Amino acid sequence: MPDYSAARFHMVEGQIRVNKVTDDALVGALKAVPREQFVPKAARGIAYVDEDIQVAPGRYLMEPMVLARLLQEAGVRRTDIALDIGCGTGYAAAILSRLAATVVAVEEDPELAARATEVLSELGADNAVVVEAPLTGGYADQAPYDVILIDGAVAEIPATILDQLAEGGRLVTVVAPKGRLGEARIFRKVSGVVSSRIIFEAGTPMLPGFQPKPAFEF
């Protein structure tokens, strides 16, 4: 079986650290989690390239640098309860499992949910659970959450998901209202009010169900 440890090291040193990611716990998680296990076998040779990798039709593993910068901005703490919306095969959930107390990973595709459950179990990420449910609803049963990651680009954040943020909670994702180049953003809830700011630009693929609504035309 190929050894991907060198590729993982070069991903962290060549893509992550040089792009303003300095959190030691996050860097350690990225060094430890075998990204190649979360992509199809035919794609394992490119598991550590600096781009989004397709894991199913219309579904992608987020570019490592984009994911890392989002999670650093979220400031995940060991006491946090985190929600990963659109977990796909579970890579981001595996990273979060090394940073947070509990991770709820939502996936609506049964095959992806099964794969995520399998790999997370293999890696011993027993503080992460995969729930099969519609992505646009988040997962209110375990809310509120200290951290929410929407694992792909969205045209806008549904109010039902923002409502699942705890006081002081942070939500990170890429917002692309027109479905093209988007903006990585962090949303914070303070005194019950959610505000956001732009972190950087990102060309992340759109998460199914979160596409821009068709514009009305005469």
For residue range 98-139, list pLDDT tens digits in order.
999 999 999 999 999 999 999 999 999 999 999 999 999 999
DSSP per-residue letters across 14-42: IIIGGGT---HHHHHHHHHS-GGGGS-GG
Q: Given a cut of 80, is residue 179 above it in pLDDT?
A: no
pLDDT band at 169 (very low <50, low <70, confident <90, very high): very high
Average pLDDT value for residue range 145-153 = 98
Name the residue among 161, 176, 3 with its Cα closest to residue 85: 161
DSSP per-residue letters across 176-206: -TTSSSEEEEEEEEETTEEEEEEEEEE-PPB
Q: Given a cut of 80, is residue 70 above it in pLDDT?
A: yes
Name the residue among 137, 129, 124 with its Cα closest to residue 104: 129
C-beta neighbour count of 133 within 10 angstroms? 17
Q: Given a cut of 70, is residue 95 above it in pLDDT?
A: yes
pTM of the model: 0.95
Q: What are the residues whose beta carbons fall under 8 Å from the beta carbon of 177, sequence distance 6 or more?
A: 155, 156, 212
E strand or H helix at 167: strand 165-175
DSSP alpha helices (H): ranges in the chain? 5-11, 24-32, 64-74, 91-97, 110-122, 159-162
Q: For residue 120, what pLDDT is reported? A: 98
Are 68 and 26 in contact, with CB atoms under 8 Å apart?
yes
Would you say the C-alpha torsion 71, 39, 85, 95 has a positive or negative sign?
A: negative
User: What digits encode the pLDDT tens for the residues 20-63?
Assistant: 999 999 999 999 999 999 999 999 999 999 999 999 999 999 99
Q: Where are the domains of the chain?
A: 5-202
Q: Looking at the domain 5-202, which fold is it? A: Rossmann fold (3.40.50)
Per-residue CA distances from 152 to 7, 38, 53, 75 (Å): 24, 16, 12, 19
